Structures are given as structure tokens and as C-alpha cells.
């Protein structure tokens, strides 16, 4: 992936992520994964395709073993684990079956009701300038 790819990486794209998230209409959609995970590797192309179809949102691929400092003290045990945040709070945090349609429907539901109930209100925010604090 490159900086112009629809899926951003915390290693190389922090400034682009922050710039794209400056719009309050953007969601941060982070896939928390591991390089060794075959399911994650298979999920990445579908995640990338979804990102390309929803360019108003910021899709980030976070390898939890390369970047454990971004996750507070959370241990990710199930892959893929998804984190969706809007400008003020976490809207979803947890493992999700690797069927991209589930993620797509969740994003649609969040956008249809931006003040709706959070699925995981106690989830931590990523520890980088991915979203306003």
C-alpha cells in the first residue's frame, strides 16, 4: 500500500490520516490485524475495496504486533477486530466475521443514525493522532 492507497498505514500515513479525519463527516475504520494471520491477509483486499468505495471515510490497517503502543493495554485475540470511531466517540469495537458486507452494513447504520447507540462505548481510542481528542 502507498500513501495514495485507500487504506492507510500508521507507519507512513499519520499526517494523511489526520488530514482526512479533519472532516467531522469522516469515520475512522481501523482493522486491527496481525501479519501472520491468514484470515487478515485474505480480508485485506476486501477491506481495501470497501475503502475505495467509501472515500469519505478513513480506513487504517494496524498490525497489532508492529504497533502495540497504539492500543493502550488491549490484547487483540480475535482477528479481524474492527474499531470504528467518529469525531467524538467509539461507535464499534470488537471482532467481526471476515465478511466485508457486515462491516459495510455497520458503517451504513452508523451514518444513517450518527447520534445512535454505540456498540462498544467503553473501547479505547487509538493512541495516535487518528482522531480529535
In the predicted structure, residue 124 carries a pLDDT above the cut 50: yes
In the predicted structure, residue 2 carries a pLDDT above the cut 70: no
What one-character DSSP code corresponds to residue 9? -
Domain of 20? Answer: 7-112
CATH number at residue 13: 3.40.30.10
Q: 53-95, pLDDT tens digit by residue? A: 999 999 999 998 888 777 766 677 788 999 998 888 888 888 9
Asked if residue 119 is part of any domain, the answer here is no
Q: Is 129 helix (H, G, I), strand (E, B) or coil?
A: coil
Asked if residue 49 is part of any domain, the answer here is yes
In the chain, the number of structural domains is 1
Q: How confident is the model at residue 123 (pLDDT cuts 50, 70, 90)?
A: low
Gap between the terminal Cα atoms of the chain: 27
Asked if residue 125 is part of any domain, the answer here is no
Instruction: Give the span between the Cα atoms of 47 and 104, in whole angstroms.
Output: 10
pTM as predicted: 0.82
Asked if residue 95 is part of any domain, the answer here is yes
Asked if residue 1 is part of any domain, the answer here is no
Asked if residue 124 is part of any domain, the answer here is no
In the predicted structure, residue 108 carries a pLDDT above the cut 90: yes
Q: 13-37, pLDDT tens digit by residue? A: 888 888 888 777 789 999 999 999 9
Amino acid at each position: 500500500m502507498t500513501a495514495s492507497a485507500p487504506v492507510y498505514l500508521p507507519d507512513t500515513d499519520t499526517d494523511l490520516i489526520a488530514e482526512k479525519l479533519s472532516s467531522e463527516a469522516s469515520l475512522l475504520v481501523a482493522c486491527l490485524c496481525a501479519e501472520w494471520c491468514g484470515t487478515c491477509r485474505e480480508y485485506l483486499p476486501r477491506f481495501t475495496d470497501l475503502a475505495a468505495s467509501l472515500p469519505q471515510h478513513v480506513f487504517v490497517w494496524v498490525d497489532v504486533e508492529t504497533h502495540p503502543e497504539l492500543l493502550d493495554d488491549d490484547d487483540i485475540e480475535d482477528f479481524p477486530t474492527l474499531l470504528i470511531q467518529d469525531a467524538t466517540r467509539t461507535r464499534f469495537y470488537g471482532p467481526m466475521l471476515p465478511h466485508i458486507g457486515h462491516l459495510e452494513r455497520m458503517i451504513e447504520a452508523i451514518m444513517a443514525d450518527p447520534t445512535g447507540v454505540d456498540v462498544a462505548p467503553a473501547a479505547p481510542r487509538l493512541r495516535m493522532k487518528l482522531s480529535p481528542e
